[in-house]
Structures are given as structure tokens and as C-alpha cells.
């Protein structure tokens, strides 16, 4: 991994994070070194054409939740913390592959940083996440071989203090 991506810009135990300027990446490993999850987020400096994703026609950066509103396989949900609010679409993709758990996220951070903006009505999202998802841009995607909840650590997008 280090030979391909270089050393992580930040590492906390088995989670490696990279800030490439035009993209943010997070890789989580099991203790034995096997990859558990991979996540990619767009930044304010991501290319206008976005990033091509395998199995999807619309690139990350142009992808909205509209692509999933009619998909019966996955589900929308809302979650929040003291510093974030987030709309998610979670699905096994393709459904026949039991080890591919995808999370598509619209992460709104209450602290300015490099993560590309995504906005939605949080009150509507709390009441009905799929109703709030219309026209909302996805700003991160994660792939995991586990059904455990996947979080993208947005703090890698914060400006570095001197």
C-alpha cells in the first residue's frame, strides 16, 4: 500500500488517511493487514468532471442521491454528531455479492475545511431520509467487506495549523 500511495498523511492504529488536495482517502485495515474498508471523498479542489467509479455511470463529484431513489436494494438514513450531519445511502452492490457493502454519503461539516460541500434539509432528513435525498450531492463513498457502520473521518479535510 505504501509503495502505491506513499505513507499515510495521518494514521491512527489501523486507519490510514490521505489528503491529496483534490481527494481525501481513508483505508481501514484489520489487525492482520487485510483491508476492511476504503473510502474516497471529494474536495473543493476536485476535478470538475469528478472521479470515475467502478460499476457506476455517474462520477463522484456529479453523483447525487437521485441515482438511488428508485433502488429497492438499499436504504437511506440520517445521522448526526455535534459537528456533522449526514445523509447516507447504504447498499450491498451488486446485491448478490455479500461482501461488498457500499456507503454513499452527503456529509455536512459545521467546521470549514476542504471537504466538498453537500447540503440538505436536516429536519426533513430526520423525519424521512429518502425524502430529503432528492438532488443532494454525494461527497464521499465507502466500500467495506463488513456490514458494520462505516464513518468517513472528515477531520483530514481541516486546514493544518502552523
Tens of pLDDT, residues 60-78: 999 999 999 988 889 999 9
- Average pLDDT over the chain, rounded to an integer: 91
Q: Stretch 33-59: mean pLDDT, rounded?
A: 93
User: Does the predicted TM-score (pTM) go above 0.85?
Assistant: yes
SS3 3: helix
pLDDT band per the 50, 70, 90 thresholds, residue 111: confident
Tens of pLDDT, residues 116-149: 999 999 999 999 999 999 999 999 999 998 888 9
C-alpha cell at 140: 464521499
Domain boundaries, the chain: 2-157
pLDDT band per the 50, 70, 90 thresholds, residue 162: very low
Give the 3-state secondary structure of 75-129. EEEEEECCCEEEEEEEEECCCCCCCCEEEEEEEEECCCCCECCCCCCHHHHHHCH
Preceding peptide of 52 cis, ω within 30°: no
Amino acid at each position: 500500500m505504501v509503495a502505491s500511495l506513499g505513507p499515510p498523511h495521518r494514521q491512527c492504529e489501523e486507519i490510514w488517511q490521505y489528503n491529496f488536495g483534490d481527494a481525501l482517502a481513508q483505508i481501514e485495515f484489520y489487525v492482520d493487514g487485510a483491508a476492511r474498508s476504503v473510502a474516497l471523498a471529494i474536495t473543493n479542489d476536485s476535478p470538475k468532471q469528478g472521479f470515475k467509479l467502478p460499476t457506476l455511470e455517474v462520477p463522484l463529484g456529479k453523483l447525487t442521491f437521485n441515482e438511488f431513489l428508485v433502488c429497492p436494494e438499499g436504504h437511506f438514513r440520517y445521522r448526526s454528531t455535534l459537528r456533522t450531519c449526514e445523509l447516507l445511502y447504504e447498499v450491498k452492490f451488486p446485491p448478490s455479492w455479500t461482501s461488498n457493502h457500499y456507503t454513499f454519503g452527503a456529509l455536512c461539516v459545521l467546521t470549514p475545511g476542504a471537504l466538498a460541500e453537500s447540503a440538505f434539509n436536516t429536519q426533513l432528513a430526520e423525519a424521512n431520509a429518502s425524502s430529503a435525498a432528492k438532488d443532494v450531492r454525494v461527497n464521499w463513498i465507502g466500500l467495506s467487506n463488513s456490514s458494520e457502520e462505516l464513518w468517513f473521518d472528515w477531520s483530514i479535510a481541516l486546514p493544518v495549523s502552523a
